[in-house]
A and B are shown apart, each in its own frame.
Chain A
């Protein structure tokens, strides 16, 4: 059996009130060690208040070739944005 430690993706909450963001990856034998290593690698300069780790093989991703069908339909739906609507000045801030 190949003895390379599995790859983990690391997510850090930078400040209270913000969501976790992907910051990078690392190798670790298990989740506990992945958290410890993430602490050493990605939070040495006050970058975080919380860490999530996910083994990379468990992440399902959209395929680059589906970019068109997935994301282009929203480009034409400009009425989904507030700026699409003119509100008369007299009405004031809305």
Chain B
């Protein structure tokens, strides 16, 4: 056979036959390879309460949505009544009246303080979204400090609003995996114990960031529960000073103040602290707005139902929550069925339980964001997203909670694909999570809706205040952390002058406990000097941003 004979027609034949072969293969072979397996195992975080609920709900008949096309009217709270809403476009501002009134007191009279518990899943991991919301609120209403922080956290390295390190001899129990903890879970859904370790000390370390309103650890206070242990001590190292603090543990919830006023960083060593349930540290300056981020990767929201009512009331006495945000959904999307009535019912119970734990608190439900799945070879909005947002809206209506439809706010059908493909990208390639840019945008969307309600509230109440331009651009750069020092120039934000610790109001326990009674503001402090609005810093890292579009 001659090797030099022209081979054109044979070549063409091969290409043509191969296409025919492809069409045949497509017909008989599976449509996709690499099935999307869900990993399991003891080290993989999954919400066991949810898995059980999914199992129990299997085979349940689909129920008709009885709320479609209804109009939702409200009863007056403190004489304020919002107009009737369409179910389709339900927001439920009425249910935020108590919260809005506290904001108003803060804004007009600089009186009182407002605290928000923001419960979430991996979306808010590393303080994403929440840090932006906190920044916007604190820039407008005042308040310093990151709020409540866990003892240990798997997402500590990705948290940019403070540096958080801990020894590896902590034993952690999380409401995600454990039904019956040794001691009840704290408000963060976790309880931490020291492991018996005679060699290595058990410690935690916190360091404030350089972000405005968060540049200090304000009044750091340890929260822990009851134990028979009377010998426990905490050794606190602040700079060159070492203090020893006893840890009496006779109450259901105990607090020990680490320092008065603001400090930059500290390390706490725990000595002979066996059997004491630790919860975390709180950092706030006692005025303005504080937002606690209680995020848990993999959480569906259902585990909140396991909160111990007495302990939560004790937390509420100390911290005084005005608003609870429930931002869940991502982890409920992947379980096959499009019938979410089981989730709706279970979450309605969770909300009822929260109202029992935190009497009088306002509740805001934030729906799942858009998420994409591959259909054929194209990424599209997952078919479970819309049914889930509907279920979330239904339980919001039923439990008299406010509601943010994040899916429609971010653009509805196909929006996640856009957020991922946009330049610069707003979301990650898993078509689920937002990056720091997208998180800021999400926070702005939530802030805007909250503020719309606030503006309406003020109108209904007949108050006029100048409207600030919002939302505030507070973190234009990736926050600088220790390890970034090499690369990022320091963020030039005005350092907060150190205030005299004695002049700060002490955290006053005892918050009005009954439902819509008008909040009694804490005796006035002289109004704080208006803070300079955080300056928009020129992007110092823009020179090193890069365009990978053509990076071949």
Q: Do A and B share a complex?
A: no
Residues of A within 8 A of B (CB): none
